[in-house]
Structure 1
Amino acid sequence: MSRFLIVLLVLCFMSCNTKEVKIKEMPTKSEKIVIAHRGASGYLPEHTLPAKAMAYGMNVDFIEQDIVLSKDNVPIVIHDIHLETVTDVAIKFPDRSRADKKFYVIDFTFEELKQLNVSERFDPATNEAIFPNRFPLFKSNFKIHSLQDEIELIQGLNKSTGRNIGIYPEVKEPEFHQKEGKDISKIVLNILMEYGYKTKNDHCILQCFNAKELKRIRNEFKSELFLVQLIEFEEEELRLEEFAKYADGIGPWIQQIIKGKGVNGKWLISDLVINAHKNNLKVHAYTFRADQLGGFETFDELLNVALYEANIDGVFTDFPDKVVGFINKN
């Protein structure tokens, strides 16, 4: 079955099960947004077009794209700068690894990358799935695609369905790319502008873990997009005032917000969201997984604490349908 037929079948199934379709505008301050983390990655292999089509059918607000450059400067939608955890590259190109035994996207042309089969994420040392209850390893037919491929899919679906679902690209490892002689931010921004993503009103949120690079995107490239500073360490929580000078939001790890249970059995919530809001920063937290609850009894309990007790503004999730359904009933 071709990947495009899979896309059409998945979209048809999801659309037929959607009771009401609402055309979405950019979220207001009070709205909670749902970001499909690598697509509907709880159900289909991450960052594949079928996973993105399925997420679209779930009527999310934004669909995420992690971006890495190929050897010939094509922006590839894949989570890591290397390939061996989600593809059969070690079988197709066994002699193309570097000294660290990893196979890097940047060492392959786009035409070569399209020869690879994509799978659910696995440990290359054991060939065991990271999430064993998700889609079976190396079943069906999934391929690598470019940022342009995905934008055209989402924009095409926006036209044919009347929705207005946004994109949420991440510039991955900018310093690595610079050491390889490539300016990933410049390439990504040029493509976004070609497809009409230029300002905060264009349904595109751009994210990066590298603060220096995100600041460069705002100041050197004069980008007017909605920018989100991704964070993962406690010391970064002290830099909110600095982030607010160039970013519109932060993307923290959920465990930076929910700190476990207190002696009274209630969940402990940090001041990160309160302090971010004081600096006019939205908070889009990662990653919410129904099969990785982190001490919560149910996924709904986790969502309720994060969205309504901690008051985060948005959720990165592998299970977009569950979060959309939860928000719609609250």
Structure 2
Amino acid sequence: MKSILLLFSCLLLFSCNQTKKKLTMNTKIVIAHRGASGYLPEHTLEAKAMAHAMNVDFIEQDLVLSKDDIPMVIHDIYLDDVTNVALIFPERKRKDNRFYVIDFTFDELKTLQVSERFHPETGEQVYKNRFPKGKGNFTLHSLQEEIELIQGLNTSTKKNIGIYPEIKDPKFHQKEGKKLTEIVLKVLTNYGYTTKQDACTLQCFDAIELERIRKELKSELFLVQLIGYPEETQQLKHFATYADGIGPWYKQILDKKVDGKFTFTSLVSDAHNLGLKVHPYTFRADSLDEFATFEEMMQTVFIEANVDGAFTDFPDVVLKFLNKK
């Protein structure tokens, strides 16, 4: 407990000593992907507090419903790759041997311990050099709890850091008889997020659901259509009829290397011509793929490809890079 209190004290001291003038320092936004997840287990309140102290523009929340209709902040509909659910409730797995958030009440979910992401079949940690798996005392939390943390920190630090929630797997929830989207929108409204001027961007991979949010549910929030498949890059004109931006996989922006330099697809320019912002995912300093260094990755995608912002597990590094530029 003392170590957690010390962590929060240090974070708040760092945070209060920083000047929040991000919109004038650079025009590109930094989104803390699942919080400062390169340093602390993803989607924990500790990771969100650390991201806030780093002066990001937005902090992401992936949202899944509990059995009693509480929006939980967790990356997937599954529990068994970031918690000890298999040890605490071994009898609660489904026929596919997975444990689902939707099968547990909020109170039950709060009894689980969260750890760094791991492979449920082997127990092996996904990112080996991150926070050690099974260490610390981290728990799951609701969207309401996270909003209250972020809004509280905004008040005490005089900042206006936004939230960037994602509606996760709406079709799954609908098959289970759940109205995830409607419940999330109600929570957002209750906390003052209703228009494009509010510090909230709502995202979803499901194009049918995101269009429904705009046209049927009449949301006036800033909407971002996440995309991950090649054919979706050809649907920008349709996306522009209801969305304000797109969130592509960053590799959809890259074409090929010529003389050691990347060339680019037309995705960013096509989106910009339609008035869409472009926020690619995910910048990871410990997963560079075709890049030699994280610096090269940031320079290529942020500066040369001219995207408007990006999701990153290492927001402090990206912010430092952008501020130098």
TM-score of the two chains, using structure 1 as the length reference: 0.95
What does the per-residue CA deviation read over 1:86-143, in whole Å, with 9 as the maximum and x for residues that have no partner?
0000000000000000000000000000010000000011111000000001101000
Task: Measure, in 2, the Cα distance between the counterparts of 1:280 and 1:211.
Answer: 18
Q: Supply the AA of the counterpart residue of 2:180.
A: I
Aligned mates of 1:329, 1:20 — CA distance in 2: 16
Contact 1:199 / 1:226 at 8 angstroms: preserved in 2?
yes
CA drift of 1:85 comes to: 0.2
- DSSP-derived class of the 1:286 partner: coil
Which of 11, 15, 21 matches 1:14? 11
Please list every run of at least 4 consecutive aligned residues from structure 1 whose deviation after the TM superposition is greater than 6 angstroms. Answer: none
Please tell me whether the aligned partners of residues 244 and 279 of structure 1 are also in contact (alpha carbons under 8 angstroms): yes
Tell me if structure 2 keeps the 8 A contact 1:23–1:162.
no
C-alpha displacement at 1:14, in angstroms? 3.5
CA distance in 2 between counterparts of 1:176 and 1:15 reads 38
Shift of 1:10: 3.0
Q: Match for 1:20: what amino acid?
A: Q
Could you tell me whether the CA contact under 8 Å between 2:65 and 2:102 is conserved in 1? yes
Aligned equivalent of 1:216: 212
CA distance in 1, matches of 2:148, 2:9: 18
> Structure 2 CA distance, aligned partners of 1:81 and 1:259?
33
Contact 1:40/1:55 (8 A) holds in 2: yes
Count of residues paired in the alignment: 323
Specify the alignment match of 1:318 in structure 2.
313
Residue of 279, 284, 301 corresponding to 2:279: 284
Q: d(CA) in 2 for partners of 1:304 and 1:127?
A: 35
1:136 aligns with 2:136: no
Q: Determine whether 1:207 maps to 2:207.
A: no
Contact 2:11 2:49 in 1 (8 A): no
Please tell me whether the aligned partners of residues 60 and 165 of structure 2 are also in contact (alpha carbons under 8 angstroms).
Answer: yes
1:141-162 deviation per Cα after TM superposition (whole angstroms, max 9, x unaligned): 0000000000000000000000
The answer as to 2:301 corresponding to 1:271 is no
Kindly state the Cα deviation for residue 78 of structure 1 after the two structures are TM-superposed.
0.1
Aligned-pair identity in percent equals 63
Supply the distance in 2 between the matched residues of 1:193 and 1:261 (Cα, whole angstroms). 46
Residues 10, 53 of structure 1: 8 Å contact kept: no
| 8 A contact 1:96–1:103 mirrored in 2 | yes
Ranges in structure 2 where 5+ consecutive residues have no aligned partner: none
Deviations along 1:229-277, one digit per CA (max 9) or x if unpaired, are 0000110001000000000000000010123423x22112111000000
- Find out whether 1:95 has 2:94 as its counterpart: no
**Match runs of 1:37-76 below 5 Å:** 37-76=33-72
CA positional deviation for 1:20:
3.1
Measure the CA separation in 2 of the matches of 1:196 and 1:301: 39
In the TM superposition, residue 70 of structure 1 has moved relative to its aligned partner by 0.2
**Cα shift readout 1:11-34 (whole Å, capped 9, x = no counterpart):** 43234446532155xx59x71000
2:31 to 13, 23, 35: 35
Q: CA RMSD in A?
A: 1.4
- Cα distance in 2 for residues equivalent to 1:9 and 1:192: 31
Residues 181-207 of structure 1, C-alpha deviations (whole Å, 9 max, x = no match): 011100000000000000011100000
Partner of 1:329: 324
Post-superposition shift, 1:298? Answer: 1.3
1:256 aligns with 2:252: yes
Amino acid at match of 2:197: N
| Matching residue of 1:82 | 78
The runs of 5 or more residues in structure 1 that have no matched partner are none
Distance 2:74 2:104 in 1: 13
- TM-score of the two chains, using structure 2 as the length reference: 0.97
Partner amino acid, structure 2, of 1:116: L
> Does the residue aligned with 1:288 lie in a helix, a strand or coil?
coil
Does the 8 Å CA contact 1:114/1:144 hold for their aligned counterparts?
yes
